[in-house]
Homo-oligomer: A and B are copies of this chain.
């Protein structure tokens, strides 16, 4: 089986084995050690000395934490959205009474730093900027360095969804000075879904002190307090933590530069192979994601049919389009536990399936 959707991603055998270890006391010595070690290792991947908190929830829970811990009802935020997950991030903010200034870009386009700058000039009372690092729904990566440079001209909190970016793409949190950055376990981390990660800057903690959106389960200040003793406020997903520990060991053994280089090479390989077959990528080359490729179905391919044939006859699982992109694209995930060989197998299967899925 080639599970090549943008999460959950396949897990290495070491991770699956670790996930199957017998339970331990989540308030005991063994877990404390594990908690300290995984937190330190997570920080290495995040390239940060900021606090790094782990929540037992999926990525959307992490995005919720990024809102409810740092904002108050009535606060104004600029939502820079380039797809479904950018919109979800904005929806969460709206749900909690935050006033969202939407800055939406067409599906398949990256955010334009100049337009972000203009929006911030036009809305000086904006407290925070919400940005998607890598938009899973369109296979598009924002130029976080360029966006960050613009945002830094203003004194705003930067809240980043890097769920499908972090651990695969280079996003140096401290170097850029990103305030809150959210990750999710089932992406480049190579572990099962159920954990979300949040890095929190000093500036974000300052905002936390006055933030008044109510929060309980997702309370990051409480998580920080418990982390001092190697604990979490509520019972953590112990089994997934075991997997995380094993995955972090594998990742640090490979090393960040090699992880990033591998994703860049595979991303390029996938785009080349797609183009060789006369197909088009949704975003332009400059912003095409190295963790997920969105391929236009055009008027020649029945995308849902292609996915069905690939799955049923060739054990290759790809993802479709979401919302407005339903039926218009199919997506190939290539993050985390993935090699060029895996992708070759995907394209071998695709060569057999494509003629059957022609419109």
Contacts and interface: CB of A to CB of B under 8 A. Distances in A.
Given A10-B22, A57-B61, A58-B56, A192 B237 contact: yes
Interface stretch (A46-54, A150-158, A212-220, A268-276): A212-220
A327 interface: no
A188 interface: no
A218 B236 CA distance: 17
B16 A3 contact: no
A193 B237 contact: yes
A267 interface: no
A194 B215 CA distance: 19
Contact of A60 (B29, B186, B216): B216
Interface in A225-255: 233-240, 243
Interface stretch (A92-100, A104-112, A140-148): A92-100
Contacts of A7: 235
B239 A58 contact: no
A20 interface: yes
A57 B218 CA distance: 10
Contact of A28 (B60, B217, B317): B317
A183 interface: no
Interface residues of A, number: 55
Given A58-B234, A192-B237, A11 B28 contact: no
Interface string A81-99: 0000000000110011100
A321 interface: no
A238 B193 contact: yes
Nearest to A320: B27
B22 A236 contact: no
A239 B240 contact: yes
A260 to B, nearest CB: 23
A24 interface: yes
Given A64-B217, A234-B59, A10 B23 contact: yes
Nearest to A187: B235
A286 interface: no
Contacts of A215: 95
A161 B195 CA distance: 24
A22 B28 contact: no
Contacts of A224: none
B194 A240 contact: yes
A209 to B, nearest CB: 17
A311 interface: yes
B59 A57 contact: no
4 closest Cβ contacts across the A-B interface? A194-B237, A20-B20, A192-B239, A8-B23
8 contacts: A8-B23, A10-B23, A16-B20, A17-B20, A97-B214, A193-B237, A193-B239, A217-B218
